[in-house]
Amino acid sequence: MAQVASDDVVAQSPSRQSRGILALGALFILAAVVVNKWTLERVFSPDEYISSGTSVAVIAAFEACLLLAGLWLLVAASSPSGWSPVSLSASTAG
Protein backbone atom coordinates (compact mmCIF):
# COMPACT_ATOMS: atom_id res chain seq x y z
CA MET A 1 0.00 0.00 0.00
CA ALA A 2 2.82 2.43 0.83
CA GLN A 3 4.46 1.69 -2.54
CA VAL A 4 1.30 2.70 -4.41
CA ALA A 5 1.12 6.00 -2.53
CA SER A 6 4.76 6.68 -3.33
CA ASP A 7 4.17 5.94 -7.02
CA ASP A 8 1.24 8.36 -7.08
CA VAL A 9 3.40 11.17 -5.72
CA VAL A 10 6.12 10.47 -8.30
CA ALA A 11 3.55 10.37 -11.10
CA GLN A 12 2.08 13.74 -10.08
CA SER A 13 5.41 15.44 -9.55
CA PRO A 14 6.33 16.37 -13.16
CA SER A 15 3.04 18.13 -13.95
CA ARG A 16 3.19 20.03 -10.70
CA GLN A 17 6.80 20.92 -11.40
CA SER A 18 5.89 22.05 -14.92
CA ARG A 19 3.22 24.36 -13.55
CA GLY A 20 5.77 25.87 -11.20
CA ILE A 21 8.26 26.36 -14.02
CA LEU A 22 5.55 27.92 -16.20
CA ALA A 23 4.60 30.27 -13.36
CA LEU A 24 8.24 31.26 -12.83
CA GLY A 25 8.68 31.89 -16.54
CA ALA A 26 5.56 34.05 -16.63
CA LEU A 27 6.79 35.92 -13.54
CA PHE A 28 10.15 36.63 -15.21
CA ILE A 29 8.41 37.96 -18.33
CA LEU A 30 6.10 40.12 -16.23
CA ALA A 31 9.10 41.46 -14.31
CA ALA A 32 10.84 42.26 -17.61
CA VAL A 33 7.82 44.31 -18.68
CA VAL A 34 7.47 46.12 -15.34
CA VAL A 35 11.16 46.71 -14.60
CA ASN A 36 12.02 49.17 -17.33
CA LYS A 37 13.76 52.53 -17.58
CA TRP A 38 10.59 54.58 -17.14
CA THR A 39 9.40 52.67 -14.08
CA LEU A 40 12.81 52.82 -12.43
CA GLU A 41 13.09 56.55 -13.17
CA ARG A 42 9.82 57.22 -11.39
CA VAL A 43 10.72 55.08 -8.38
CA PHE A 44 14.44 55.77 -7.82
CA SER A 45 15.37 59.04 -9.50
CA PRO A 46 14.48 62.29 -7.70
CA ASP A 47 14.12 64.20 -10.97
CA GLU A 48 12.51 61.18 -12.69
CA TYR A 49 15.28 60.99 -15.30
CA ILE A 50 18.24 58.59 -15.58
CA SER A 51 20.93 60.37 -17.57
CA SER A 52 23.77 57.85 -17.31
CA GLY A 53 24.17 55.79 -20.45
CA THR A 54 25.77 53.02 -18.41
CA SER A 55 22.78 52.81 -16.08
CA VAL A 56 20.39 52.66 -19.03
CA ALA A 57 22.49 49.88 -20.61
CA VAL A 58 22.49 47.89 -17.36
CA ILE A 59 18.71 48.26 -17.07
CA ALA A 60 18.24 47.14 -20.67
CA ALA A 61 20.57 44.15 -20.22
CA PHE A 62 18.79 43.08 -17.03
CA GLU A 63 15.42 43.44 -18.74
CA ALA A 64 16.61 41.35 -21.70
CA CYS A 65 17.96 38.65 -19.36
CA LEU A 66 14.64 38.46 -17.51
CA LEU A 67 12.72 38.23 -20.78
CA LEU A 68 14.98 35.56 -22.27
CA ALA A 69 15.00 33.51 -19.06
CA GLY A 70 11.21 33.70 -18.88
CA LEU A 71 10.78 32.65 -22.50
CA TRP A 72 13.27 29.81 -22.06
CA LEU A 73 11.43 28.53 -19.01
CA LEU A 74 8.06 28.71 -20.80
CA VAL A 75 9.36 26.82 -23.83
CA ALA A 76 11.27 24.28 -21.76
CA ALA A 77 8.38 23.57 -19.40
CA SER A 78 5.87 23.13 -22.20
CA SER A 79 8.08 20.88 -24.31
CA PRO A 80 6.70 17.37 -24.84
CA SER A 81 10.01 15.77 -23.91
CA GLY A 82 9.28 16.34 -20.25
CA TRP A 83 12.33 18.49 -19.53
CA SER A 84 12.84 19.60 -15.97
CA PRO A 85 15.71 21.33 -14.16
CA VAL A 86 16.09 18.27 -11.96
CA SER A 87 16.59 15.92 -14.89
CA LEU A 88 18.96 18.42 -16.52
CA SER A 89 21.14 18.68 -13.41
CA ALA A 90 21.10 14.92 -12.95
CA SER A 91 22.18 14.29 -16.53
CA THR A 92 24.98 16.88 -16.47
CA ALA A 93 26.31 15.89 -13.04
CA GLY A 94 28.38 13.18 -14.76
Task: Quickly state the pLDDT bin for 29 (edges 50, 70, 90).
Answer: very high
Average pLDDT over residues 57-64: 92
pLDDT tens digits along 76-90: 877 766 555 555 555
**Where do the structural domains in the chain lie, given as residue ranges?**
18-76
Mean pLDDT of 28-50: 88
The mean per-residue pLDDT over the stretch 26-45 comes to 90
Contacts of 69 (CB under 8 A, 6+ apart): 25, 28
Output the pTM of the full model: 0.65
- State the SS3 of 29-42: HHHHHHCCHHHHHH
Contact 16/22 with Cβ under 8 angstroms? no
